[in-house]
Amino acid sequence: MTTKQLFGKRIVLGVGGSIAAYKAILLLRRLTDLGADVEVVMTASARQFITPLTFQTLSGHPVHTDLFATDDNMTHLRLAETADLILVSPATANLIGRFAQGLADDLLSTLILASHAPLLLVPAMDGGMWQHPLVQQNVKTLRETGVEVLDPEFGTLASGHIGWGRFPSEETIMSSIISLLTMPGDYHNEVLLITAGPTHEAIDPVRYITNRSSGKMGYALAQSAQKRGAQVTFITGPTSLTPPPGVHTISVSTAEEMQDEVHKHFARATVVIMAAAVADYRLTHPAETKLKKQGQKHLSLALSLTPDIVGNLAAKKTGQFMVGFAAETENLIEEATRKLKEKGLDMIVANDVTQPDAGFGSDTNAAIVLDAHGIVEDMPLMPKRGMAMKILDLIRVCLDNRQ
Ligand code: PMT
């Protein structure tokens, strides 16, 4: 992190009414230390916890509290138009609900509706409230419209209970702010085709073969590429994740369906990233009705290979940059190198899925990136979003070197 990394950036910091309001003071300090110009808007409830004077002293600006203040009655428009980022921290369940409904009944909610700046919410509330279906629905609505909502962390809450709802760490918040404010637009001329998630191969109408992929790595790639200006077609197997906003998302179930969609969109793509964990086998003859036990102790299923989606693209290539993933439990480099060659890839991201917190399902990953010449980069354990950005950086360098 360079010292004045946020110099010239204007941030509106909205502070909600939670005991975590005091943590907004620490964030404000970090932001101004990095050179950001921060103006603070406090809700009426926030002022029950902290006085505006603290924020005023640290930001060097008067704190805004009133939509109808007579001294500057266009504050909401000025802040909305000049902000590079609106950060709401802490964001209470009430604020999240009001933003999700598009209400504009105080200064903060009004300026959010009036602004085109990215919006980042840092929730803080009791774990039970966070997990309430209505709060989750509101978070989903916001995420679908492109609002970045951080997930609260697990730990001891202000109530003394242990659960989800803890304010995210300062480092997590700062890295989200920095990535939103410093996102390069270096993929404007690229059309990306990205796959994610597992596939489901039917055994009978109620059972299927699958694997442990959650889709998180592929979703992080699709979202990051879109934010860097790419046109993204995103083909995902079944996951519980919300489709990335602004991304053309196509849901499929089987390897065959994924292959059909990949082939349909391949010709337009300039970069293909296959993060999906495609099932290698499917049932040769899936049962049309539910299989019954009928007393037998063992059941054998006849399996046939699924199509090698990326391997079959080699013949159709017209200059696309092809990136594959490999999830391995042994001989990581050898296996990934073999797949790179056999599948005609330009680059492969090799995950050692035996490593704790890496590979399937986790929010973090560690990987070794390889090309035809060997190791390109050894990436230590990091959030999948950060890894997505690093993979895109590496691809960008290769695309630039080709021109
Ligand atoms: O989804 P997450 O929980 O976030 O986890 C991420 C991940 C571990 C699933 C992902 O990062 C990953 O490693 N994906 C590839 C999984 C894998 O084991 O792939 P593979 O070794 O079977 O295949 C190698 C490459 O060929 C992959 O790019 C795959 O998409 C592709 N492939 C595989 C089989 C097939 N029939 N067709 C294919 O195109």
CA distances in angstroms from 244 to 52, 249, 288, 389, listed in the order given: 36, 8, 35, 15
The Cα–Cα gap between 5 and 131 comes to 35
CATH architecture observed for domain 10-182: 3-Layer(aba) Sandwich (3.40)
Strands (E), 97-186: 119-123, 148-149, 153-156, 162-166
To which H or E segment does residue 258 belong? helix 255-266
179 against 42, higher pLDDT: 42
Higher pLDDT, 221 or 175: 221
Q: What is the pLDDT of residue 403?
A: 73
pLDDT at 73: 62
Q: Is the pLDDT of residue 320 over 80?
A: yes
Atom of ligand 1 nearest to the CA of 196: 1
Instruction: Compare 343 and 128 and report the one with higher pLDDT.
Output: 343
Confidence of residue 146 (pLDDT cuts 50, 70, 90): confident
Task: Name the 3-class secondary structure at 94.
Answer: helix
Query: Which H or E run includes 256?
Result: helix 255-266
pLDDT in tens, 246-288: 899 999 999 999 999 999 999 999 999 999 999 999 999 999 9
Most confident stretch, 71-75, 131-135, 163-167 = 131-135
Q: Token digits for 323?
A: 């990136």
DSSP letter assigned to residue 167: P
What gap in Å lies between CA 369 and CA 388, rounded to an integer?
12
The mean per-residue pLDDT over the stretch 224-253 comes to 94
Evaluate if residue 70 carries a pLDDT over 70. Answer: no
Burial class (CB in 10 A: 0-12, 13-18, 19+), 211: middle
Q: In this structure, are residues 342 and 324 in contact, taking their beta carbons and an 8 Å threshold?
A: no
> What is the pLDDT confidence band of residue 163, given thresholds at 50, 70 and 90?
confident
Ligand 1 atom 13 nearest Cα: 327
d(CA 122, CA 298): 52
Longest dimension (CA), the chain: 83
**Strands annotated E in 142-255:** 148-149, 153-156, 162-166, 191-196, 201-204, 207-209, 231-236, 248-251
Q: Active-site positions?
A: 211
pLDDT level of residue 72 (50, 70, 90 thresholds): low
| CATH 3.40.50.10300 at 191-402, yes or no | yes
Q: Which atom of ligand 1 is nearest to the CA of 197?
A: 1
Predicted TM-score (pTM) of this structure: 0.78
Instruction: Say yes or no to pLDDT of 344 above 70.
Output: yes
The residues, ordered by sequence, that sit 6+ positions from 310 with a Cβ below 8 Å of its Cβ are 262, 272, 274, 322, 324, 343, 344, 345
The mean per-residue pLDDT over the stretch 150-171 comes to 83
Instruction: Report the length, in residues, of the chain.
Output: 403
* Whether the domain at 10-182 and the domain at 191-402 fall into the same CATH topology: yes
For the stretch 29-50, pLDDT in tens is 999 999 999 999 999 999 999 9
pLDDT, mean of residues 370-385: 94
Q: Residue 207: what are its φ and ψ, rounded to 5°? A: -130, 155
Q: Which residues line ligand 1 (CB under 6 A)?
A: 213-217, 255, 274-278, 280, 306, 308-310, 324-327, 339, 343, 351, 353, 359-361
Q: Is 287 strand, coil or helix?
A: coil
Q: Which DSSP state fits 390?
A: H
Atom of ligand 1 nearest to the CA of 326: 21
Q: Residue 76 — very low, low, confident or very high, per pLDDT cuts 50/70/90?
A: confident
For the beta carbon of residue 286, count every other beta carbon within 10 angstroms: 17
Residue 155 has pLDDT above 90, yes or no: no
**How far, in Å, is the centroid of ligand 1 from the Cα of 222?**
15
Q: Which of 278, 338, 343 to mutate to test the pocket of ligand 1 (most atoms within 8 A of CB)?
A: 278
Averaged pLDDT of the chain: 93
- Name the residue of 193, 274, 328, 354 to mutate for ligand 1: max ligand atoms within 8 A of Cβ: 274
At residue 17, the pLDDT reads 97
State yes or no: pLDDT of 1 exceeds 60: no
Domain ranges of the chain: 10-182, 191-402
Averaged pLDDT, 2-27: 93
Residues 6+ apart with CB under 8 A from 357: 364, 366, 381
